[in-house]
């Protein structure tokens, strides 16, 4: 799994991509012109301290990893956690991510 790391990659995804949101997460999706997917996860300091933020990042990353074969290729995905993610467990985060991916139609057909 490759990840978005640079600020310019996130900004590109925010500006050129399409956004989908639910109570826990916001997903931005845009094409990247390669054969692989890149995922970036952003959690604001407003959500919680570093322990809480890192926990949310791990939950989103693991949820993506376990469903990686279901995704179409050539996508940049930026996932932004909302403050409701602070109290969510793994299943809620995973369900929220899968719901947004289904809305975005990023699954293989």
Instruction: Say if CB 99 and CB 63 are below 8 A apart.
Output: no
Asked if 33 and 76 touch (Cβ cutoff 8 Å), the reply is no
CA distance 52 to 60: 13
Give the bridge partners for 76, in sequence order.
30, 38
pLDDT in tens, 64-102: 999 999 999 999 999 999 999 999 999 999 999 999 999
Q: What is the pLDDT of residue 109?
A: 73
Q: Does 1 have pLDDT greater than 80?
A: no
Ordered by start, the domain boundaries in the chain are: 2-104
pLDDT in tens, 28-46: 999 988 889 999 999 999 9
Give the model's pLDDT for residue 108. 85
Q: What is the CATH number of domain 2-104?
A: 3.30.230.10
Contact indicator for 11, 50 with CB cutoff of 8 Å: no
pTM of the model: 0.93
Give the closest residue to 9 by CA, choosing from 31, 26, 25.
31
């Amino acid at each position: 799994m490759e990840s978005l790391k640079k600020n310019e990659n996130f900004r590109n995804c925010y500006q050129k991509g399409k956004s989908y949101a639910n109570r826990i997460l916001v997903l931005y999706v845009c094409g990247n012109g390669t054969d692989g997917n890149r995922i970036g996860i952003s959690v604001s300091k407003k959500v919680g301290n570093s322990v809480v933020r890192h926990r949310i990042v791990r939950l989103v990353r693991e949820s993506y990893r376990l469903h990686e074969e279901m995704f179409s290729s050539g996508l940049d995905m930026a996932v932004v956690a909302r403050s409701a993610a602070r109290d969510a467990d793994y299943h809620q985060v995973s369900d929220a991510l899968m719901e947004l991916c289904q809305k975005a139609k990023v699954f293989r057909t």
